[in-house]
Every structure is written in C-alpha cells, then in structure tokens.
Structure 1
Amino acid sequence: METPYVKLKVENRVGYIEFFHPNKNSMPSDVLSQLGQTIISAGTDDKIKVIVLKSGGNRTFCAGASFNELIAIEDAETGKQFFMGFANVINAMRKCPKLIIGRVQGKAVGGGVGLAAATDYCLATKYASIKLSELSIGIGPFVIEPIVSRKMGGNSMAQMTINAETFFSAEYGKEKGLFSEIFETTEALDDAVSALVEKLSGYNPEALAEMKKVFWKDTQYWDQLLAERAEISGKLVLSKFTKKTLKRFR
C-alpha cells in the first residue's frame, strides 16, 4: 500500500508542493493538516518566489474528503474539525504572500475543486473534469462555496451543486474561469507550468506579493465564514441519510 504524503521541493526559486493519497488523492485530516502547514512554510521561505500546487499520480487530482474518516465521525465538534481542515488549507492559500499556480492533471471532486479554485492561476489537462458531489451524499459544498463562487460565479456553483452526480468537463472549467488553460497531455501541462513559473520567479517579488493582495481583496472575513461553514457540514455529516449513503459509497 502506498503511503500518503505531502512534499515540498524547491527548484530554481519555485516551491513545488505535492500531496498524495492512494485512494484517488482523497484528503483525510492528517493530509489536510500537513498541506496547510506546508503552504504556510513555503510562504515564509525566502528561497521560494512562486509556488506550484500539484498532486501525485496520473489520473485524479483530488477526490475530496476521505469517506472513511467521514463515516467515523460521531459528534458535531469532530465533524467541524474535519471540515476545518479544508477551511484551513483554503485560508492558508489565501493568506500566502506568494502566487500559487495550480497543476491539475485529472479529475477533481468536492474539496478538490475547492483546492483548484483557491490557486491564483490554474492549468489543467483535458482530463480534469470536475464535480461537486456533496449533496448526493447528504451534505453540501459549504466550505468551498465562497472560493468556487468567487472563481467561477454563483450560477456555475449552483449548477454543479444541484447536478451533484455529474462530471463537468475541463472545457466547462475553463469557460467558467476555474482553469486558465487546458492541455492535451500531462507532458504539455508540465511544460506550460514550468515555463510560467520560470517567468514568474524572475519578477519583482514585492510586486507579486502586492498583486496577491489585490487578487484576494474583500476576503478578510473568510476565517470566520469558513469556520461557520465547517460547522454546518460537521452537523450534516451526522445525519442518518449521510451515514447510510457514505457506507454505500465507501
């Protein structure tokens, strides 16, 4: 069994943050915690001028929340703390003083869509279809709603949320603003990411940091907002509907 990990590799002033879980890059609490801390650390590392967020493997960028961990939740506070893992990662990305470039090689589900949306600029392959499946399992994309709505618009957020069992294409993601560019192959994606971050790493870091603040203007209240959303999800995960559904999908 492959071991989950979060790694930071620094090359040519670029910090490559890679996360992995053998179950389609799903996100249990420990991986979320490591990811959030790694983003914070990279943001304070003077050797790093720009960050790339990526996942291991070839097929799935991120399958979202770990169903095994969700099933085991037995009280609302534990539920809130689990969903705070996603909230903390999004807020770490938001507050990071360095630009974060997303590299999405495959499908993104639920919280995985939230991670892609929280990058400052996101590139993907044509295989990077997206789905917000939360309503179908009895909860909702409450924590990631602010960032997905901000990046893709409220109508797109509603469309994906209501059509909870539908994968939307990478082209849809580009049309709605989640992805800036899409590529035919992972190799082409990696070439484009490398070319972009090589340019960005040579720009004035002070100017990049100031632009990052502009990109995220009017989000100062998100610490409280995402905590409130995590509390909603933490309660819903205890419902009989959700427990029954999660066991079926497990």
Structure 2
Amino acid sequence: MIEPYVTFNEKNNVGYIEFFHPSHNAMPSNVLKQLEQTFVNAENSDVKVLVLKSGGDRTFCAGASFNELIKIEDEATGKAFFSGFANVINAMRKSSKIIIGRVQGKAVGGGVGLAAATDYCLATQYASIKLSELSIGIGPFVIEPAVTRKIGVSNMSEMTLNAETFYSAEWARSKEFFVDVFKTTEDLDVAVKNLAEKLASYNPEALKEMKRVIWQNTTHWDDLLSKRAEISGKLVLSKFTKETLQRFKQS
C-alpha cells in the first residue's frame, strides 16, 4: 500500500502540489498539516502559479479522515480536528499565487472545500461533489464560506440539505464551481498544464494584485473558520453523531 504523502514539484514556473492518502484521499490531521505547510512554503519559491491535485485516478478527496473522526472524545480535540481543513483553506486564501484546482474524481465534504478554495478549478466528468456532513450530525460549517463564495447560498444550501446526494460535475460547472469539465483525465491534465504555464508567463505583480482582488473581504476568515471548527468540534460529541458514527463503524 502506498503511504500518504504531500509533494511539491516545480516545472516551467508552475508549482504542483499533490496530496494522497490510500483511503480515497480522506485526509487525517497530519496530512492536512503537511498540505497547509506546503502552501506556506510555496510563498518562498520562484513559481508564479500553483496547481492543487491529488494522487490516484478515482477520488479527488473523500474529506476528513473518518478513522480519526470517530476517536474524538473532547471539544478541544474536536476543534483541532476540524481546524485542519480551515487552516489549509486559509493558507490557500493568503497565498499570493493563483491556484488552479485539478479535480479528477469525486469530492466529498472537506474535499469540496479544497476545490472551492482554488482560484480556477477544472475537472473531469467523474468529479461529482457531495456535502455529506449533516447526514452524520455535523454540518459543513468550516468549508461553507468557501463553498458559498463559489456557488452562492442557495446552491450551498441545496447541497447541504440533500446531504446524501452526489451532484454531477456538469451540475457543478453550471453553478460555476468548475470552470470546465473534461471527458478524460488526460484531457484535464493538458488543459491544466496549458492554463498554468500561460498564467505563469504573465506579469507576476499583476497576478498578485489579481489574487488580492479575488479574495477581497475575506480577511476575517481566520477567526470565522476557527469559530466554525469549534461548532463542529462540539457537534461531533453529540449523542446523535456518536451513534451514527458507531453504525458506520460497524458496517
């Protein structure tokens, strides 16, 4: 079995950040911390553009690690757990570099949040998305600001309340979550490479200023996402959620 990893590779002034976990790219806290730090470290690199991608050919990201979730026994641990995706989203938001999302497969929960936090997201036809948190008694509180910013309150609410429904990549494209959808991963990779290298040839100062414009009015997110992580950290201890998690564990 391939071990979890986060890598950073530079090519033609583009930095490729790739994460992987053998459990459908479900992200435990330590891998999320590595991913956050990789975005922070990328600020000191010479690359002009970043690409966020995941390993494997089926699932982009299945969200937070379920195995870690069921072990939470106190509010402090719960908040720390849900702060994982919050910290990555904030690192992406604060990055001075344009971030392109490359989504080759399904995204669930926190994985939807990662895709939403990119500045320009491309996907394959297999990249359906789902916000499943309410079905286990929590809610997509941490990632909601990023998702709502991308597709609006109405669409975010629809996905959240239909918590067991996968929404197709074409639906996501129609709501401007994805900019474009491709038939194959190979076509996706060509499009990502061409776009990233084209952007990397532009004036870097203009790209930085554009990044600031894209993320204007979000300077309060450090505090906001921390508070949202606290909400989820409490809810994960509720009787409903504990019982639901046990059923999942037994199945």
Write the distance in 2 (CA, Å) between the matches of 1:168 and 1:236: 25
Provide the residue aligned with 1:21 in structure 2.
Answer: 21
Measure how far apart 1:133 and its partner are.
0.1
Provide the residue aligned with 1:232 in structure 2.
Answer: 231
Matches within 5 A, 1:37-116: 37-45=37-45, 47-116=46-115
- Amino acid in structure 1 at the alignment position of 2:58: R
Measure how far apart 1:216 and its partner are.
0.3
Deviates more, 1:36-45 or 1:149-158: 36-45
Q: What is the number of residues matched between the two proteins?
A: 249
Write the distance in 1 (CA, Å) between the matches of 2:173 and 2:18: 23
Write the distance in 1 (CA, Å) between the matches of 2:248 and 2:168: 23
Provide the residue aligned with 1:164 in structure 2.
Answer: 163
Paired residue secondary structure (1:219): coil
User: Is 1:4 the counterpart of 2:15 in the alignment?
Assistant: no
> Cα RMSD (Å) of the superposition?
0.7
Measure how far apart 1:10 and its partner are.
0.7
Write the distance in 1 (CA, Å) between the matches of 2:3 and 2:114: 21
User: Is 1:32 the counterpart of 2:28 in the alignment?
Assistant: no
Paired residue secondary structure (1:26): coil
Measure how far apart 1:249 and its partner are.
2.4
Task: Give the TM-score of the pair, scaled to structure 1.
Answer: 0.98
Measure how far apart 1:198 and its partner are.
1.1
Q: Percent identity?
A: 71
Write the distance in 1 (CA, Å) between the matches of 2:128 and 2:248: 20
Write the distance in 2 (CA, Å) between the matches of 1:37 and 1:176: 31
Question: How far does the alpha carbon of each residue in 1:15-41 deviate from its partner, in whole angstroms, 9 at most, with x for none?
Answer: 000000000000100010000000111
Write the distance in 2 (CA, Å) between the matches of 1:121 and 1:247: 38
Write the distance in 1 (CA, Å) between the matches of 2:246 and 2:176: 34
Write the distance in 2 (CA, Å) between the matches of 1:43 and 1:197: 17
Write the distance in 2 (CA, Å) between the matches of 1:44 and 1:224: 25
Provide the residue aligned with 2:153 in structure 1.
Answer: 154
- Runs (4+) off by over 4 Å: none
Measure how far apart 1:44 and its partner are.
2.4
